[in-house]
Structure 1
């Protein structure tokens, strides 16, 4: 109920045609009949084109309104017939419109209330959300090729990283390798989610704008349904990637750390998807979106805490880092992996050979200052010791919620501003007839 279904029936037989309630006949872009289907044969008979007895009405109408282009003569004759049918219908419609008697609810001098539209009452928010959610979910599920590409990409990247970083050793060199792979996972998860969104969402905005102009649904219902329907597809890739990568690289073997790692990647993917929606909502075209989104993600990557510590940033620029989902994703995966992971070995420095006198040589093996516990690594290498993994997860959620709000504002602000179709604008002929009727009565 309440759904519009469009189908095509090729040459319906008589029993099927009798099931039609109303019929609209078009030819060459002009209307030839509009009304009750059962009365269509009588309409054409009155013009001089009766339907033969025991003949399918649908076939008769199709033959009557079609242009026969087999010969120039037949084409001219059928075109003249169609022109006659079209003129008759237009004159008939004009006469009906001029003679219509409408009960005027208010004086003609008073215009209808501003913004009032003709139509049924718009359904509530949850009804709108439900219909839009299932529509978007089905659309995403039908994108078999993009979904398959996402799966293959997640597996290939995980296998490649596993081959490069397999069995990272528990030494000082291994610390750098470990931090590198963790930050790469953060970048890959964020970038993949953003770019899969901006490839689709900006192109969808045109359809959404037209549906909004007709007041089909609210912006809030659409935006909420769009984001929630994207969730399963935005966490699928990161989870598959994380499951393979985690054990291939040899990260923290604790089961709790493994499942929290997957939770962090899923949350980071959803936060990055929110960024893609926000950028797409504010940018006017898909081309502009493709130019702006990479710039924003590069800035977030630079402020992600790997290339430079947050405390080392220029004064006044720290706020950019705190808005970066890559920072909180990196904080989360590093604290989850390193905290409680001790036993890191110190590497001796290279031998230093100095001669204080000819023939005299002194060898000394110096041990450089090194980090032997996960807490030391978080404090010295990253300055993340003050955070916990749960705090990082919380900040990711907050950043994602804030970005979603910005995206919602973008759809509201950048939406087309069209005046709702009022009675006067949609039915000028009827209103002009009302005016004439009112004038005649006065």
Structure 2
């Protein structure tokens, strides 16, 4: 009887929530093109597709290796979640609570199909009676993660516009997307800061407050009007007032008919009062799942009444926690509570609701569009060119809006180039000065290498977490991000190398012909871009700034030794000879030397017969003038080769297990 009532309730909920089959269109109202203008557009984004999400007999194990490098033992399975069953329905706000290590974050990761690669998961998850998968869930849900990751140089409004261009359905026009952005800014109280840069205190960029950042994270997910919302610790790092403000936002979202699930740690009594239902966890098991008002009576029935004037949330968490020094008694008490819940009326009612959702199927006229999601060939809502326009626009803004970085690069380039000019100034074309001139050319190469490699490493590794999150949210492709990042950075790695060569070139006394000057600038620009490509590759392989910086120097130094300055090409041991051909120092040094000395003749008593030629100087350094175009081709090949390796390394990070 209870099962039939639950089926009827689910069916009535689906009818009240705006499900429609007008003229054979099985899409929910929130996805239809309405014909009456702005008012109908507003209605389309206030109606919500009903979603009942249930999970049944969820068990999660983590395999841990045993033994050491000398003796291996079979891996041991550690159970993290034990037979967890639950359900959340449209219009409900469910809070998952428990002490540290209770399993609440693991359960949320399981429900959202995230961060579960090393875990063995058993059990079933159902969305409106259908078995759910990653693509289906991502299509109709939003996920606000604990860490707020934003591009700091964008304003609040620009960030939401970027999200709207890539995450909203294709049938919406640009003006409709921007209208929705304005609605969300107003709904979440971001009007005051909509034109303020998001900022990043760690990078010295002032921006919005912590509470505004959290509301912006919600705005990014609410923008597409998802039917199901997940939040991981939404109040972390906020004061009590701001925490209550954020939870009130979630409460308002649930009141529109959406299904909201969040994990939360030590909520205040005011925040606790905003929850519709709570899921208390202890040692990976369900200690209670039901309305907030029924939790007090359940614990009282177990002889654990909450004291007067005591925050119920604190009491539940403290009661279910494993107290240090009292582990045996704490685990025994938690087990008794979990066992009592399973046999209680509240526990049996949840089982009936889950069973009803599992067997519940909407009729054909109200079919839930899971099939449409499953057959999609592409997980992206925007076309390739739309993705390119949006990501390239953001990449350009990121470069142009960090004047401090550009100023530092400019100062570094000008200062070092002037220092080189002062040190090497006035080198006349005499045999005794050849070594000095070669040293200046080699300084061009080494400075361009280290300056650009380490500059790229810091930028790329800081953006990787943002890229991975947005990519997994189905916003844009890996090749789009990599191409846009490359094109946006290209002017910087052309202009600064040109300035770096221009300042000391004539002060040093290098080959004065205009053609030779521009060729030297071109070679240094190519070397700078090879170093940039190498920095991309290191960053994408390492994934973190610390690892990338640790890898960079040991990989650069061996290539530096084969540049022809410390060791002549002909003296390289045969078993290391192959390393010369992946050294941009060798290609760049030989090309700059050929450009400097070919066609040069000067008189000097030290020279044989009193006359020195550029060809003789090149021969002394074991450089071949006929290999100039090979050197240019080698530099271009290294640019392309390193970037391809960087792209494939980045692509490998986007693969994850289903």
Q: What's the TM-score, normalizing by structure 2? A: 0.47
| Residue 29 (str. 1) matches residue 272 (str. 2) | no
Q: How many residues align?
A: 351
1:7 and 2:185 correspond: yes
Aligned to 1:102: 362
Aligned to 2:627: 387
Q: How does 1:19-418 map to 2 (within 5 A)?
A: 29=247, 31-34=250-253, 82=274, 102-104=362-364, 121-347=380-606, 372-388=612-628, 390-418=629-657
Displacement of 1:281 in angstroms is 0.7
CA contact 1:32–1:85 (8 Å) conserved in 2 = no
The secondary structure found in structure 2 opposite 1:167 is coil
User: What SS does the aligned partner of 1:241 have?
Assistant: helix
Cα deviation for residue 310 of structure 1 reads 1.7
Q: Give me the whole-angstrom Cα distance separating, in 1, the residues matched to 2:518 and 2:275.
A: 73
Rate the CA distance shift 1:80–1:270 in 2: closer, same or farther, 3 A. closer
Q: 1:321: how far off?
A: 1.0
Q: Is the 8 A contact 1:209 1:415 kept in 2?
A: yes
1:147 Cα deviation from its structure 2 partner: 0.8
The 2-side partners of 1:271 and 1:85 are apart by 57
Instruction: Judge conservation of contact 1:209–1:416 (CA < 8 Å) in 2.
Output: no
* 1:196–1:124 Cα change, 3 Å: same
Q: CA deviation at 1:267?
A: 1.4
Aligned to 2:336: none
Per-residue deviation, residues 85-141 of structure 1 (Å, max 9, x unmatched): 9999999xx99x979973359999xx9699657997533333322222221121011
Deviations 1:335-391 (Å, cap 9, x if unpaired)? 1111112215233xxxxxxxxxxxxxxxxxxx7788701111111223233322x33
Q: 5+ residue gaps in structure 1?
A: 13-20, 40-74, 348-366, 420-442
Q: CA, structure 1 residues 402+11, in 2 after alignment: closer, same or farther (shift >3 Å)?
A: closer
Residues 259-279 of structure 1: CA deviation (Å, up to 9, x unaligned): 111111111111110000001
Higher relative contact order, structure no. (Cα contacts within 8 Å, ≥ 6 residues apart):
1
For the 8 Å contact 1:343–1:373, the answer to whether it is kept is yes
Change in 2 beyond 3 A, CA 1:219/1:371: farther
Q: Is the 8 A contact 1:227 1:274 kept in 2?
A: no
Q: 1:346 to 1:296 in 2, by over 3 A?
A: farther
Listed one character per residue, the Cα deviations across residues 37-59 of structure 1 (whole Å, up to 9, x for unaligned) are 8x9xxxxxxxxxxxxxxxxxxxx
Q: 1:90 to 1:391 in 2, by over 3 A?
A: farther
Distance 1:224 1:371 in 2: 51
Distance 2:561 2:441 in 1: 15
Q: CA deviation at 1:10?
A: 5.0
Q: Deviations over 1:270-293 (max 9, x none)?
A: 111000000111113221100111
| Cα distance between partner residues in 2 of 1:80 and 1:208 | 35
Q: 1:200 to 1:84 in 2, by over 3 A?
A: closer
Q: Choose between structure 1 and 2: higher helix proportion.
A: 1
CA gap of 1:80–1:255, structure 2 versus 1, over 3 A, is: closer
Q: Deviations over 1:244-264 (max 9, x none)?
A: 011111111111111111111
C-alpha RMSD of matched pairs (Å): 4.0
- Call closer, same or farther: CA 1:90–1:191 in 2, change over 3 Å: farther
- Please report how far the alpha carbon of residue 159 of structure 1 lies from its aligned counterpart in structure 2 after TM superposition: 0.9
Deviation, 1:410, is 0.7
Q: State the TM-score, normalized to the length of structure 1.
A: 0.69
Q: In the TM superposition, what is the alpha-carbon distance from 1:82 to its structure 2 partner?
A: 4.2
1:33: how far off?
3.5
User: In structure 2, what is the Cα distance between the partners aligned to 1:298 and 1:115?
Assistant: 50
Q: Secondary structure at 2:503's aligned position in 1?
A: helix
Q: CA deviation at 1:79?
A: 6.8
Distance 1:122 1:386, change over 3 A: same
Which residue of structure 2 aligns with residue 434 of structure 1? none
SS, match of residue 602 in structure 2:
coil
